[in-house]
Structure 1
Amino acid sequence: MDPNTAFAIKAASISDVPTLAKISSDSFLEDRHTQMKSQGENPYDLEQSMAAYLPRQIASPTSVLLKAVDESTGEIVGWISWGFRGFSPAEIAGPDPDATALISNEVESQKPAEEEKRVQASQEQQAKSEPGPVDDSPIKQLERITDADLRRWMDKVMPEGTRCMFVVSLCVSPKWQGKGVGASLLHWGTRKADAAGVFIWVHSSEGAWRMYQKHGFETLETLDVDLDQYAPSLLLNNQGRTEKWGHYVFRYMKRSPQG
């Protein structure tokens, strides 16, 4: 961490969602898998996707969404979503006194409005009753492969009755990377996991696994994908030249409780 920088870890709220979604997009600008998904007829928009997804994380009783804030400017510089399996709501809020304050102080502001929930439920019901055509593009095929492999891993690592924590997502603004933001966001959860005596798992992107490794995570399984099998076009590099996308390795990592 930069000794001249101080930031605080706080609970995120609905009003933070646009900023958190933008940080997500910015932090994956150099990620080849995300870049490739943005190609094709129906390009993937990470910022838009996260803007729709994050409110559900904030409202979920089995998740804790935290933000890192630069104390000198109030700027949000990163965020993490922690998932819990086998924990009661009271256990998620405690026994860490900082965690209790984080959750209880903002719980009301984190709940979506009743009208928003009603509209969302209506849209979901309509989607179920009126299924559209299946997108069978190569990129969507890859998405189905990666989603299925993640579900396989989840069934394996945390079957029914398992008590554990997991990193849903961790994103740090590019200009703040390497300054201890990600480490602090992780530390909140590793302290909690160690106190509860549970393991943590994460489905790591190609660029993040070394950071997780530094914090006690071990790679147990991998998914190696040849992106060129699914890409609609070649990769345009920073020199304006085209090249192959190459292989991308997802890592399933696990951290055992310590202390």
Structure 2
Amino acid sequence: MASESIEVTLSHADTTDLPALAEINRLAYMQETISMIAFKDWPAETNMFNFFQARIKARMETPNTLVFKALTGTGEIAGFVCWTLEPEKVVDEATAKLGMGANGPTGKALLQMQEIFNLEFIMAAAPEMENMGNLVKGQKHYYLSAFVVTPKYQRKGIGSKLLRHCLEIADRDVLPAWLSAFPGSHSLYLRFGFEDVEHQDIDLNKWDHYRFRGFGIYRQYFMARQPKTKTLTT
């Protein structure tokens, strides 16, 4: 049975919201099995919080990035999204070493806090992610660089409202939208018109030293959605 939706108001987030946004990010990503491998000493609550705060801050400082927060009636932030307008992409091979490039928000945060990560795992996954990023070279587009709803407010329509708001901007500008999806959010993006372009399979059993705790193959999707334009009537 679907959870009852709740009303939220969307507004722009700023640096004063960073602690709340980082905690939302930490709580949501605690549920991702990949976090158990990527972070040393998982659940590593302080390390995860510091990393997400640094990454969100870097995203806020990225040109052409809009950060929207969803506020409940009590003023609590229930979720947020970072929506980045990216120009025709030129990949710098010298810096494309971590995540979507060492000069990107994730790469910057990783470089600042390398000691808290399983770097062997990060570096093994990075080339495939970079290859997926190369799919958008030469194409102006929007990129969903962060999209998180805190666990207690998930499945209440908040994520859909945030995502719909971003896609309305892409449709207005007649630009495609791209994102990288974890398994749990894949079906949501399909419902909003995204299509699979590429994927990356990571055998988490290998990185868990074959303790076979039920991790298995972890599939990350790279997805695209073409803009929807209104049909003109005469």
CA distance in 2 between partners of 1:206 and 1:63 (Å):
25
Report the secondary structure of 1:61's partner residue. Answer: coil
- TM-superposed deviation, 1:231: 2.1
For the pair shown, which has the larger CA radius of gyration, 1 or 2?
1
1:56-94 deviations in whole A, cap 9, x for unaligned? 222222211111001x2000000001111239xxxxxxx
Which TM-score applies when normalising by structure 2?
A: 0.78
- TM-superposed deviation, 1:142: 2.2
- Give the one of 144, 147, 165 matched to 1:167: 144
CA distance in 2 between partners of 1:78 and 1:49 (Å):
18
1:80-159 aligned within 5 A? 80-86=81-87, 139-156=118-135, 158-159=136-137
CA distance in 2 between partners of 1:26 and 1:56 (Å):
20
CA distance in 2 between partners of 1:78 and 1:52 (Å):
17
Return closer, same or farther for 1:251/1:231 CA change in 2, 3 Å cut-off.
Answer: same
Q: Which runs of 5+ in 2 are unaligned?
A: 89-107, 230-234
Return closer, same or farther for 1:41/1:51 CA change in 2, 3 Å cut-off.
Answer: closer
- Give the one of 205, 216, 220 matched to 1:246: 216
- TM-superposed deviation, 1:154: 1.4
Q: Which runs of 5+ in 1 are unaligned?
A: 88-123, 129-133, 236-242
Amino-acid identity (%): 21
**Conserved? CA contact 1:39–1:231, under 8 Å:** no
1:227-246 aligned within 5 A? 227-231=204-208, 234=211, 243-246=213-216
**Conserved? CA contact 1:85–1:164, under 8 Å:** yes
Return closer, same or farther for 1:56/1:180 CA change in 2, 3 Å cut-off.
Answer: same
Structure 1 letter corresponding to 2:170: A
Return closer, same or farther for 1:64/1:164 CA change in 2, 3 Å cut-off.
Answer: same
1:204 aligns with 2:204: no
1:52 paired residue number:
54
Report the secondary structure of 1:208's partner residue. Answer: helix
Return closer, same or farther for 1:232/1:42 CA change in 2, 3 Å cut-off.
Answer: farther
Which TM-score applies when normalising by structure 1?
A: 0.71
1:9-20 aligned within 5 A? 9-20=10-21
1:177 aligns with 2:154: yes
Return closer, same or farther for 1:5/1:40 CA change in 2, 3 Å cut-off.
Answer: closer
**Conserved? CA contact 1:40–1:232, under 8 Å:** no
CA distance in 2 between partners of 1:233 and 1:64 (Å):
41
CA distance in 2 between partners of 1:203 and 1:155 (Å):
13
Return closer, same or farther for 1:205/1:42 CA change in 2, 3 Å cut-off.
Answer: closer
Return closer, same or farther for 1:61/1:85 CA change in 2, 3 Å cut-off.
Answer: same
CA distance in 2 between partners of 1:4 and 1:230 (Å):
38
Return closer, same or farther for 1:76/1:145 CA change in 2, 3 Å cut-off.
Answer: same
Return closer, same or farther for 1:218/1:76 CA change in 2, 3 Å cut-off.
Answer: same
Superposition CA RMSD, Å: 2.8
1:79-123 deviations in whole A, cap 9, x for unaligned? 001111239xxxxxxxxxxxxxxxxxxxxxxxxxxxxxxxxxxxx
Report the secondary structure of 2:184's partner residue. Answer: coil
CA distance in 2 between partners of 1:83 and 1:146 (Å):
23
1:185-228 deviations in whole A, cap 9, x for unaligned? 11111111111111101111121111111111111111111012
**Conserved? CA contact 2:82–2:147, under 8 Å:** yes
